[in-house]
Amino acid sequence: MSYVVTGASGNLGRLVVEGLLERVPADRITAVVRSEEKAAPFTARGIRTAFADYNAPDTYANLFAPGDKVLLISSGEMTADRAAQHKVVIDAARAAGVALLAYTSATGGHDAPLTEAHRATEKTLAASGVPHTVLRNNWYSEIFADGLDRIIAHGTLVRAAGDGRIASATRADYAAGAVTVLTGEGHEGRTYELGGDHAWTFTEFAAALSRLCGKEIAYHRVTPEAYADVLTGAGVPALYATILADADASFSRGELAAVTGDLSRLTGRPTTPIADTIAAALK
């Protein structure tokens, strides 16, 4: 039996592998990557590697073994049919008879562009007969701390989230939750709504950034349409700008505000405050 992590070379995948190394021997971990270059850091530490691609179903044939516990990290290819990509892994897991497949889904509205593929994948999982756990992750805190230098330079944080709250957590928090599920028992058939212990607003974010950088940062509220224009003006492709503006609209509606405590209960520790993420980014 092996603990198999797809997308292991990504930001979340690497942290999951690190967490697994603290609990199980390296030779019981399989990191699924797409190239020799991405495999090198894992093989150097005695971790088994496998080469597979969500877009190439044949690469997943015979990758899993009976009794494996698999973490399917969702595809980040927003222009692809992500539900179909995930089905490739689910079908291979079913054929192999894995003991558990945990899937990194997302919290939020069922018809939002960012969650549509996740809900479709959850339905595929439910119909597959594969023992599974759904990990509905809220947003990664690190995403909001990206590009702080530009915000500080302008002294303004422009968003379309109104006064909506976001119960984000760090990738390390979510990775720790995934490791607990993979290495523990009794998680089959469960859907966890994972997120931070405190749901924050962009007003709070701007206040924390002001305190940490020593410069007053104002939070400027705009409409989703105006925010999309700001993003495209900064060079963000139109498709992604629309998706991000829609996400801010969902924040304003409170769709990412729920604090369930599932993540801190799984990990046995508090989640990382947003101010800590901002401080880490500034360093």
The domains found in the chain, sorted by start residue, are 3-137 (3.40.50.720), 140-169+197-257+272-283 (3.90.25.10)
The pLDDT-based confidence of 76 (bands split at 50, 70, 90) is confident
Which 3 state secondary structure label does DSSP give 56? strand
Confidence at 112, pLDDT banded by 50, 70, 90: low
Query: Across residues 6-14, what is the average pLDDT?
Result: 97
pLDDT band at 79 (very low <50, low <70, confident <90, very high): confident
Average pLDDT over residues 204-222: 98
The answer to whether 12 and 171 have CB atoms below 8 angstroms apart is yes
Q: What is the pTM of this model?
A: 0.96
Predicted local distance difference test score (pLDDT) of residue 166:
98
pLDDT digits (tens, 9 = 90+) for 121-139: 999 999 999 999 999 999 9
Q: What gap in Å lies between CA 108 and CA 136, rounded to an integer?
A: 9
Q: Is the pLDDT of residue 110 over 60?
A: no
Q: Measuring CA to CA, how many Å separate 189 from each of 7, 101, 116, 149? A: 23, 10, 21, 43
- Supply the pLDDT for residue 264: 98
